[in-house]
């Protein structure tokens, strides 16, 4: 049987673009890709990139305060010009979108700017009416923000809307306690909005190391984010130009805007999967094996739509491994076991790799090494902000099982620690490494005695 393409990719985000480029340019496959919105996907257009640029923008008041602490008596952040910043942001995102498109074109991939759905195991139908057959189809459609299912929720913003706001709200409510809620309330607070974070738990960032969660929760409060913990909104109503929000604890408050950040779900709706028999999991995710192959042999899926680890570098790695395996005769699996990540709150980020103390203690005896301190740089400027460096060590093998850093630029540091942890480094190998002085990171190689032991018989 002959096909129009060797590979048809649905979704031009992190995973889809990488897979298409590698299959075409490295392995000579005839490839097409359909994108219903903008090439680059969530990360480039409405996620990691604009988010990080907004984090940078939001640090100006703290940077001015620090400069005053260093003797620049008149240092002020001045007035934030949101429309000017937004214009610059739009231009930058368009530039990046162009690079993504250009990379695909150079690789010889055919681009379709249309929504795609599946008609059968080998056929894709576009919203333009065009139909194409392909030997292999890759689904890389990502995820979409979830909604809590409360009356009036359509009045709220989701994370996509943050970058498009006409004006910054004076009083804003952020709902949720995950990555997005923490990062976006940090941004809005830094840009001068009176920000409240409402979360149904008693600490943000469920699933992270317990001490890290406590520190991020306190930091949000210390920078001026009002916390409304163990509470959830039950109703949103229009009130003049703003919104009236009722909460599960019986209270009600008025805000100029509300942003919902209560998780994301795989974007499988309307994709025609029922025409193929591709198996879905409980959360609507496409179930795949270690090779990203679905229950239908000609159809593969990578990235957030498979709900494995929903991060950009993971989607990219999965897309690349898929292309090498299927088109390059180089079978490659992705190890989802040890993936570092960072939550970009400020002034201290939370960087994490490996097991949390809680997870590690459940598996066996561990030693916990910690350094808690006020970093030299911010201390001199008059800040009380405390950092934490934490290593979780297996008592038996001496291997470092996890590392958690709460400090300025923790994302940068954890990237490098992840190399050592991934290689199976022991605590003694960390100790044998001579410190770089004076740095924050030197604390990672100078922690002499455990602060506690936990897990197994030594608990
Ligand atoms: C606000 C936010 C901040 C984030 N920050 C970070 C971060 O700092 N670091 C990090 O590692 N990760 C971050 N993430 C997660 C990261 O963006 C995702 O894990 C990553 O983009 C997933 O890539 P993907 O290829 O699976 O999907 P996506 O990048 O979402 O791409 C899917 C693409 O498919 C298109 N599409 C969907 N359906 C169809 C269809 N039927 N036909 C045609 N096209 C279709 C969509 O328009 C989209 O462009 C963030 C996410 C969000 C929402
Ligand atoms: N820095 C990064 O790497 C980064 C940044 C942003 C997003 N991401 C990725 O995007 C994913 C999605 O982020 P997210 O923050 O939306 O999801 P999340 O799963 O991290 O957090 C969702 C939060 O919403 C709360 N929640 C869920 N349902 C609720 C309801 N009905 N009412 C009130 N609260 C409710 C949960 O308790 C949780 O705190 C992340 O898991 C991550 O994979 C990564």
Closest to 260 (Cα-Cα) out of 154, 166, 351? 154
pLDDT at 456: 81
Residue 52 labelled as part of a binding site = yes
| CATH code, domain carrying 169 | 3.50.50.60
- 207 CA: nearest ligand 2 atom: 20
pLDDT 10s digits, 15-31:
999 999 999 999 999 99
Are residues 183 and 254 both part of a single domain?
Answer: yes
12 is an annotated ligand-binding site residue: no
Model-wide pTM > 0.95: yes
Q: Report if residue 186 sits inside a domain.
A: yes
Query: Distance between CA 150 and CA 33 in Å, rounded?
Result: 37
The arithmetic mean of pLDDT across residues 410-433, rounded, is: 98
- Cα distance between the two ends of the chain: 63
Beta-bridged to residue 452, according to DSSP, are 368
Report the percentage of the chain scoring pLDDT > 90. 98
Q: How far apart are alpha carbons 384 and 388 in whole angstroms?
A: 13
Q: Is the ipTM of this complex over 0.90?
A: yes
Do 426 and 384 belong to one domain? Answer: yes
Residue 457 lies in a domain: no
For residue range 273-286, what is the model confidence (pLDDT) as tens digits? 999 999 999 999 99
- Span 347-376, mean pLDDT? 97
For ligand 2, say whether the CB of 205 is within 6 Å of any of its atoms: no
Assess if residue 455 is contained within a domain: no
Candidate from 47, 56, 110, 158 with most ligand 1 atoms within 8 A of CB, to mutate: 47
Whether residue 133 sits in one domain with residue 10: yes
CA 161 – ligand 2 centroid, Å: 16
121 touches 298 (CB < 8 A): yes
DSSP 151-184: TTGGGSB-GGGGGG-SS--SEEEEE-SSHHHHHH
Specify the pLDDT at position 457.
Answer: 61
Domain that holds residue 240: 153-262
Q: Determine the pLDDT at residue 459.
A: 45
Flag whether pLDDT at 458 surpasses 90: no
- Check: CB of residue 10 under 8 Å from CB of residue 137: yes
263 assigned to a ligand binding site: yes
Same domain, 255 and 291: no
């Amino acid at each position: 049987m002959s096909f129009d393409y060797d590979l048809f990719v649905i979704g031009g985000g992190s995973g889809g673009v990488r897979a298409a480029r590698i299959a075409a340019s490295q392995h000579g496959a005839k490839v097409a890709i359909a994108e219903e919105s903008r090439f680059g996907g969530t990360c480039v257009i409405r996620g990691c990139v604009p988010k990080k640029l907004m984090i940078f923008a939001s640090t100006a008041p703290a940077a001015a305060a620090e400069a005053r602490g260093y003797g620049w008596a008149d240092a002020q952040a001045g007035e934030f010009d949101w429309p000017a910043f937004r214009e610059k942001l739009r231009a930058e995102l368009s530039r990046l979108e162009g690079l993504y498109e250009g990379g695909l074109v150079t690789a010889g991939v055919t681009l379709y700017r249309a929504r795609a759905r599946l008609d059968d195991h080998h056929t894709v139908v576009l919203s333009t009416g065009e139909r194409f057959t392909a030997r292999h189809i890759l689904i890389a459609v990502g995820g979409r923000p979830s909604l809590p299912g409360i009356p009036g929720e359509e009045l709220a913003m989701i994370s996509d809307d943050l970058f498009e706001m006409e004006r910054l709200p004076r009083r804003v409510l952020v709902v949720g306690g995950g990555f997005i809620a923490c990062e976006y309330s940090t941004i809005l607070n830094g840009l001068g909005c009176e920000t409240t974070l409402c979360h149904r738990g008693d600490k943000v960032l469920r699933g992270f190391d317990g001490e890290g969660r406590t520190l991020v929760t306190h930091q949000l409060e210390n920078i001026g984010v009002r916390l409304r913990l163990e509470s959830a909104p039950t109703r949103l109503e229009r009130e003049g130009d703003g919104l009236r929000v009722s909460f599960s604890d019986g209270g009600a408050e008025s805000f100029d805007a509300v942003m919902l950040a209560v998780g994301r779900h795989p974007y499988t709706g309307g994709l025609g999967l029922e025409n193929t028999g591709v198996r879905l999991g409980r959360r609507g995710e496409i179930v795949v094996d270690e090779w990203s192959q679905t229950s239908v042999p000609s159809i593969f899926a990578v990235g957030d739509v498979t709900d494995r680890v929903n991060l950009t570098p993971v989607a990219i790695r999965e897309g690349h491994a898929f292309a090498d395996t299927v088109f390059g005769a180089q079978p490659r699996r992705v190890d989802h076991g040890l993936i570092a990540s960072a939550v970009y709150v400020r002034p201290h980020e939370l960087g994490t790799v490996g097991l949390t103390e809680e997870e590690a203690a459940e598996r066996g005896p561990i030693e916990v090494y910690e350094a808690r301190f006020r970093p030299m740089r911010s201390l001199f400027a008059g800040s009380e902000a405390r950092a934490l460096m934490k290593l979780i060590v297996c008592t038996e093998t001496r291997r470092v099982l996890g590392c958690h850093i709460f400090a300025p630029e923790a994302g940068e540091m954890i990237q490098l620690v992840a190399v050592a942890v991934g290689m199976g480094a022991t605590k003694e190998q960390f100790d044998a490494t001579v410190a770089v002085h004076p740095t924050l990171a030197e604390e990672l190689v100078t922690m002499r005695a455990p602060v506690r032991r936990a897990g197994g018989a030594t608990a």
